Amino acid sequence: MNLPASLMTSLSKINSFDRDAFVQVHESGEQVVSVRLNPLKPSIVNGEWSIYNQQSATHHLSFITHQPVPWSSSGYYLGERPSFTLDPLLHAGAYYVQEASSMFLEQALKQSVELDQPLLVLDLCAAPGGKSTLLQSVISKESLLVSNEVIQTRVNILKENIIKWGAGNVVVTNNDPTAFSKLHGLFDVVVIDAPCSGSGLFRRDAEAIKEWSEDNVQLCSQRQQRILADAWNCLKEDGVLIYSTCSYSSEEDEEILDWITSNYKVESKKLKVEEKWNIDEVQSTAGAYGYRFWPYKVKGEGFFIAAFKKKEPADQLRIKIKTTQLPSKQEATIAANWLKHTDGLTFIKQGQNIATIPTQWNETIQYLMQELKVRYAGVEMGTIAKNDLLPEHALALSTMISDSVIRVELTKEQALDYLRKNEITIEIPHKGWALATYNEHPLGWMKLLGNRINNYYPKEWRILMR
């Protein structure tokens, strides 16, 4: 691996940098594989969490061994990299494949925020969704997550992963950070996993080396400052800002912490880090605390994270709702029959589509839909036609679906055929809508027609791997 000489020269200025160890770990070819399990969708076999091991000729489930990611409550290392695409549980949202170091976001949040309180959280640079799904797993069910991605082509994969995770306390938006500057003091927490030069991912993605340059580091640093400046107004007083990158460069890490402390009134949060984790605590020139992950010291990739509390007043935001589109009483009754319960839920309409959102966040979500480009909110349920619901895929993957809905358990081969949107032959005595399930986890909708089955898996989500 041909590491950039200018990068190595710049890293040598960092006290904890070990050149020989850094080169060795990048030349080792070692691949660290980790997943984070979905607490909303436990996948348990004989009392142990498990995911499918594609390499097993017997098609048995491969148990996750005693290798938890130490700073994560639901992260685990795998001994090898299975073919995740060919595991139906991935498509069911039972787990997310996430780099282990970045799971430290959980610690930054737990040590900076009262998580038992209802919080409004913004994940500003969210695609593809690893940190957003982590946030949804850590915040309380009374909280609301706004998951934003500025790039339109990337917001689709973000929406897909949010839907697979299955929680209903979320809004997905597609906005430039400038759009949030007018939402004065709205958010309790703002997470900015900033676009960066990507040097922390060299071991995992050797192609990233070709794109790295000193000029790009400077451009990224300037972009990070702009994003932070745009987002600052939407964080309330005493709200928490969590900043992270997958870059080693001090220009994108410590120097950004200095930029924050010189431009705003903040309190840098010192986090408790166990010595055995081998995470480096650093201090910027201004004394702000940051946490750097070296791949030769931790079982994970390069990562940097810091947390601040805002110590200056924010303007008071006045929320005014212009219009609200609600379903009729009959439409709401039809939709309610598909849910376990409707306590704490409100039905809204987006065009002809009915969605359910948390009642306590109704006004906030309506306001966000008015002020931002909202791509998804709550749980999309479907449309009403001939006094029946034509269900959306999001409803199938949500944790709200009624237990009375018919379920059809599939074998692994049948599940993969379903996910490829192929025809499936199963003799089922029922007719009507049914959930296709694998290991009791819903994969999507099918329509039972007596002598045949219609596969309603989304065409744009289907897997192509054989």
Question: What pLDDT, on a 0 to 100 scale, did the predictor assign at position 271?
Answer: 98
Residue type at 302 in one-letter notation: G
Instruction: Measure Cα distances from 315 to 342, 367, 409 in Å.
Output: 35, 17, 53
Q: Which amino acid is at 440?
A: E
Dihedral sign, CA of 356, 362, 365, 367?
A: positive
| Architecture of the domain defined by 405-465 | Roll (3.10)
Determine which one of 196, 220, 234, 246 is catalytic. Answer: 246
Concerning whether 220 is annotated as a catalytic residue, the answer is: no
131 is in an annotated binding site: yes
Q: What is the CATH number of domain 101-310?
A: 3.40.50.150
Domain ranges of the chain: 5-98, 101-310, 319-402, 405-465
Residue 332 is labelled as binding a ligand: no
The fold adopted by the segment(s) 319-402 is: Nuclear Transport Factor 2; Chain: A, (3.10.450)
For the entire predicted model, the pTM comes to 0.95
pLDDT of residue 59: 37
238 is in an annotated binding site: no
pLDDT in tens, 403-447: 999 999 999 999 999 999 998 988 888 899 999 999 999 999 999
pLDDT band at residue 66 under the 50/70/90 scheme = low
- pLDDT tens digits, 77-132: 998 888 999 999 999 999 999 999 999 999 999 999 999 999 999 999 999 999 99
Q: Tell me the two tokens of residue 56.
A: 């097993």
Higher pLDDT, 53 or 224: 224
- pLDDT, residue 48, reads 52
**130 annotated to bind ligand:** yes
Alpha-carbon gap, residue 268 to 248, rounded angstroms: 20
Cα–Cα dist 77/70, whole Å:
10
Whether 154 and 180 have beta carbons less than 8 Å apart is answered as no
- Per cent of the chain over pLDDT 70 is 95
Q: With residue 226 as reference, give the H or E element that holds it.
A: helix 214-232
* Res. 321 pLDDT band, cuts 50 70 90: very high
pLDDT of residue 450: 82
Look at residues 451, 439, 457, 449 and name the one whose alpha carbon lies nearest to residue 45.
Answer: 439
Structure tokens, 11: 């890293």
For residues 210-226, one letter each, b for 16 or more C-beta atoms within 10 angstroms of the residue's C-beta and e for the rest, the string is eebeeeebeebbeebbe
pLDDT of 250-286, one tens digit each?
999 999 999 999 999 999 999 999 999 999 999 999 9
**Per-residue tokens: 16:** 């904890």
Is the dihedral angle over the CA atoms 37, 41, 43, 48 positive or is it negative?
positive
pLDDT value at residue 426:
87
Give 401's DSSP letter: B
What is the homologous superfamily of the domain 5-98 according to CATH? Sun protein; domain 3 (3.30.70.1170)
Q: With residue 353 as reference, give the H or E element that holds it.
A: strand 353-358
* Non-local CB neighbours of 423 within 8 Å, separated by 6+ positions: 417, 452, 453, 455
CA angle at 165 for the pair 197 and 391, rounded to the nearest 5° = 130
Contacts of 30 (CB under 8 A, 6+ apart): 203
Identical fold, 319-402 and 405-465: yes
Residues in the chain: 466
Q: What percent of the chain has pLDDT over 90?
A: 85
The contacts of residue 2 (CB under 8 Å, 6+ apart) are: 209
54 pLDDT higher than 50: no
Can you list the alpha helix ranges (DSSP code H) found in 321-458?
Answer: 329-336, 362-371, 393-397, 412-419
Residue 299 has pLDDT above 90, yes or no: yes
Least confident range of 26-35, 42-51, 152-161: 42-51
Q: How far apart are CA 430 and CA 184, in angstroms?
A: 53
- Residue in this structure with the two tokens 């029959």, named with its chain if needed: 337
Residue 425: predicted pLDDT: 86
182 is in an annotated binding site: no
Confidence of residue 63 (pLDDT cuts 50, 70, 90): very low
267, two tokens: 């309190």
Q: Establish whether 149 is an annotated binding residue.
A: yes
Strand 388-391, strand 431-438: pairing: unpaired
**126 marked ligand binding residue:** yes
Nearest to 254 by CA among 226, 229, 289: 289
- Can you tell me the distance from the alpha carbon of 357 to that of 383, in angstroms, rounded to the nearest whole number? 16
Given a cut of 60, whether residue 57 has pLDDT beyond it is no
